[in-house]
Amino acid sequence: MDCPDSCSLLVWNDDDGTVKIQGNPDHPFTSGFTCAKIRKLPNRIESHHRIVTPMIRSGDRWKEVSWDDALDLCAERIDELRSEPSSILHFHGEGAKGVLKQANKLFFALLGASRTKGSLCDAAGFIACLADFGSRFNNDIEDLLKTRRIINWGKDLLRSSVHTFAIVRKSKKKGARLLLTLIHDS
């Protein structure tokens, strides 16, 4: 799911063939639970609305095509653009926490696509750490349980990092003071 928590998951088929997913209880960070996004993933995978066959637009309608035909069409269109690398747009949105990060970079680099340095969302935080602390050396996440004060600058932990949220909540129960600064759209 490419989220910052990078959960350790247990995945299996139930007796009725239903896909089940749970957080790995033996993993120290995942601690046996997941966010709603992961809990709902089997429903998304099994949905009859899920598109599992390539489709090509023909006029105002879509028609199913084979994977071979779809991949051949993609290769043909990409090959047409290779003579002008600036015409290949690559949105920097690959899986930042897994093997796909490197595969995606390599694929688009081999095509001659222009590239970005850093990421479009985390880069500001990295630069802030460098400016404030001189490095990106991070403490162990469990150090939050040993602190007296926590400042959360504009991140909705409950939606974007439920496991960090759980650690912050434990720290707060132990007496840590929490300062939240949230950004609201007007």
pLDDT of residue 60: 94
Q: In the chain, where does DSSP find H-type helix? A: 36-39, 41-46, 67-81, 100-111, 123-133, 157-160, 162-173
Rounded-to-integer distance, Cα 165 and Cα 120, Å: 23
Rounded-to-integer distance, Cα 138 and Cα 142, Å: 11
pLDDT in tens, the chain (186 residues): 667 677 889 999 999 988 889 999 999 888 899 988 888 888 888 899 999 999 999 999 999 999 999 999 988 988 888 777 666 665 555 455 566 667 777 777 777 766 665 555 666 777 777 888 888 777 888 899 999 999 887 778 887 788 989 999 999 999 999 988 765 554
pLDDT of residue 10: 93
Instruction: Report the predicted TM-score, pTM, of the whole model to 2 decimal places.
Output: 0.57
CB 32 within 8 A of CB 24: yes
pLDDT of residue 149: 93
The radius of gyration of the chain's CA atoms, rounded to the nearest angstrom, is 22
Nearest of 143, 165, 138 to residue 33 by alpha carbon: 165
Which value, to the nearest 10 degrees, does the dihedral of the CA atoms of residues 68, 71, 72, 74 take?
160
